[in-house]
């Protein structure tokens, strides 16, 4: 049996090899292998087996890097990504089929067609929090669309990244996909190179670096960023159900989820009732005190210090959890809820990306909408309400990547929904068919007949008065 507690050292890709790797997958693209839908399906099946054959190893790696419970890893990561690969495998022929534009009598004889063509060789840069779902998931779309790809996965999850590298290189054609590992120096090198599309998932600051690097080559980019996703509670809702779903959405992966509810807005006179419901739900979901063996931990000591510092400087009141049981050695902070938080509090400056949930009392739902609109457009906006009027007021009065009523987080896995931000939370859409579309060029095509000049011959010079009169 392998030792699942020993730290894993991730081998970084030598910087001088990175261009060679890009050239290999570019050559793989021009080899034409992926023109064949059958070969795409074969590579997608291999991608599925790469995960499916190694589920226990992935569960162990996540436990090591993030302290995640295997059930959480299955639900949030492995199950989702396997579904995404299977969908791409099963639908690749349908998605890749050329389409005809809408019928127009004057153009039909020109046989217009929209060809679905791969963009070429693409780069996928993934963050640490869901390192398989956010690298392998979009990779399925890229391969389905006929692209070759390089994955740059996170240096912050060494066990998972080492395993992703091992299985991708073992199961897939190395002309089709290669993995690059490393931190800033390696990513900077990767970004100096020319790509045909870049998908970057991560924080806003690095997102801008990526977009600027891509602009030098006129490379299209999709940015899947984060931000502070608000959650509005209408007090007339079923608070017990709301509290359970809110705490789950915040607690999963210790709050290190791009669509985790970042803060709650609730009418001031209902804050106490909401806190009571959250305390009851917390006792139900985690009957024993949280420890680093029952709850995911932060990814690094630096992340621990950041979250610890913002909790210790809040002027709000801790009503669940708190710092007394936090442990830097374990990178562990228990799920912490803070009430009476003001708009300029330490908890309200940047995306929290940790297990802390501030409650900001507001005067009314209208006030909550104003609060949201005074800040950058979030990736997700949550509303707990049974009142259609309230739902409409929030939906019609705000902008966000997604709006989700009476639930948290799981909209990102709902079949057929696009996943993407707006404004500061990014641009572009992925998952399922949307990933295929992201990596597809719609190549306009027509095939003209010889006899058509009898009908549109007037376009040719000389432009005589006689032609004008026609």
Residue 188: exposed, middle, or buried by beta-carbon count in 10 A (0-12, 13-18, 19+)?
A: middle
403 binds ligand NAD (CB under 6 A): no
- State the residue for tokens 């153009």: 107
> Given candidates 137, 138, 158, 202, which one binds ligand NAD under the rule CB under 6 A?
202
Under rule CB under 6 A, which residues in 296-355 are in contact with ligand NAD?
351, 353
C-alpha span between 221 and 212 (Å, rounded): 10
Q: Report the largest interatomic distance among the alpha carbons of the chain, rounded to a whole angstrom.
A: 91
Judged by phi (left if over 0) then psi (alpha if -120 to 50, else beta), residue 101 lies in beta
In the sheet where 426-427 sits, what is the strand order? 177-180, 148-152, 121-125, 197-201, 221-224, 426-427
Using an 8 Å Cβ cutoff, are 143 and 149 in contact? yes
Among 220, 173, 169, residue whose Cα is nearest residue 194: 220
For residue 411, give both structure tokens.
Answer: 């909209």
What is the C-alpha R_g of the chain? Answer: 25
351 belongs to the catalytic site = no
x/- mask, ligand NAD, residues 238-277, rule CB under 6 A, reads --------------------x-------------------
155 belongs to the catalytic site = no
379 binds ligand NAD (CB under 6 A): yes
- State the residue for tokens 């990736």: 379
CB nearer ligand NAD, residue 311 or residue 379: 379
> Given candidates 255, 421, 428, 432, which one binds ligand NAD under the rule CB under 6 A?
421
Could you tell me how many residues of this chain bind ligand NAD (CB under 6 A)?
A: 28
- Residues whose CB is less than 8 angstroms from the CB of residue 450 and which lie 6 or more positions away in sequence, other chains included: none
CB nearer ligand NAD, residue 201 or residue 385: 201
Q: How far is the CB of 263 from ligand NAD (least distance, A)?
A: 14
> Given candidates 174, 188, 240, 399, which one binds ligand NAD under the rule CB under 6 A?
188
Candidate segments 214-222, 224-232, 304-312, 365-373, binder of ligand NAD by CB under 6 A: 224-232
Q: How far is the CB of 328 from ligand NAD (least distance, A)?
A: 19
> Given candidates 80, 96, 121, 187, which one binds ligand NAD under the rule CB under 6 A?
187
Q: How far is the CB of 202 from ligand NAD (least distance, A)?
A: 3
Candidate segments 104-112, 221-229, 309-317, 388-396, binder of ligand NAD by CB under 6 A: 221-229
Which residues are registered as beta bridge partners of 178?
150
Q: Write down how long the chain is.
A: 470
Q: How far is the CB of 79 from ligand NAD (least distance, A)?
A: 17
Using an 8 Å Cβ cutoff, are 40 and 139 in contact? no
Under rule CB under 6 A, which residues in 147-176 are in contact with ligand NAD?
152, 154-155
- State the residue for tokens 């050559």: 27
Catalytically active residues, by annotation: 224, 258
List contacts with ligand NAD (CB under 6 A). Answer: 125-130, 134, 152, 154-155, 183-184, 187-188, 201-203, 206, 209, 224-226, 258, 351, 353, 379, 421, 426
């Amino acid at each position: 049996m392998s030792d699942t507690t020993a730290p894993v050292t991730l081998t970084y890709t030598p910087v001088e090899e990175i261009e060679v790797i890009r050239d290999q997958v570019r050559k793989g693209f021009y080899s034409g292998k992926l023109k064949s839908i059958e070969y795409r399906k074969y590579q997608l099946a291999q991608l599925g087996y790469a995960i499916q054959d190694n589920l226990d190893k992935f569960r162990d790696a996540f436990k090591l890097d993030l302290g995640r419970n295997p059930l959480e890893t299955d639900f949030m990561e492995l199950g989702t990504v396997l579904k995404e690969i299977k969908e791409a495998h099963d639908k690749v022929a349908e998605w890749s089929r050329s389409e005809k534009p809408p019928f127009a009598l004057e153009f039909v004889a020109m046989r217009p067609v929209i060809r679905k063509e791969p963009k070429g060789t693409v780069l996928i840069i993934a963050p640490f929090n869901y390192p398989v779902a956010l690298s392998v998931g979009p990779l399925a779309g890229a391969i389905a669309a006929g692209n070759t790809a390089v994955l740059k996965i996170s240096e912050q999850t060494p066990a998972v990244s080492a395993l992703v590298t091992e299985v991708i290189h073992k199961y897939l054609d190395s002309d089709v996909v290669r993995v690059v590992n490393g931190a800033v120096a390696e990513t900077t090198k990767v970004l100096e190179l020319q790509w045909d599309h870049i998908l970057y998932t991560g924080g806003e600051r690095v997102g801008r670096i990526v977009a600027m690097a891509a602009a030098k080559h006129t490379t299209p980019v999709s940015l899947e960023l984060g931000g502070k996703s608000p959650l509005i509670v209408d007090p007339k809702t079923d608070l017990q159900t709301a509290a359970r779903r809110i705490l789950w959405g915040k607690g999963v992966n210790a709050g290190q989820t791009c669509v985790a509810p970042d803060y709650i807005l609730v009418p001031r006179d209902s804050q106490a009732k909401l806190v009571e419901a959250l305390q009851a739900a917390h006792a139900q979901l985690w009957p024993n005190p949280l420890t680093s063996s029952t709850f995911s931990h932060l990814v690094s000591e630096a992340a621990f210090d950041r979250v610890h510092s913002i909790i210790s400087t809040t002027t709000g009141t801790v009503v669940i959890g708190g710092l007394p049981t936090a442990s830097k050695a374990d990178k562990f902070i228990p799920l912490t809820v803070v009430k009476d938080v003001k708009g300029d509090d330490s908890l309200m400056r940047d995306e929290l990306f940790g297990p802390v949930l501030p409650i900001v009392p507001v005067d009314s739902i209208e006030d909550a909408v104003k609060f949201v609109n005074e800040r950058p457009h979030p990736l997700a906006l949550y509303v707990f309400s049974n009142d259609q009027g309230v739902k409409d007021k929030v939906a019609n009065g705000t902008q966000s990547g997604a709006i989700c009523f009476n639930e948290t987080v799981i909209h990102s896995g709902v079949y057929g929904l696009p996943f993407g931000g707006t404004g500061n939370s990014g641009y572009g859409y992925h998952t399922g068919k949307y990933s295929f579309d992201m990596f597809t060029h719609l190549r306009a095509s027509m095939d003209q007949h010889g006899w058509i000049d009898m009908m549109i011959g007037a376009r040719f010079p000389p432009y005589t008065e006689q032609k004008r009169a026609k």
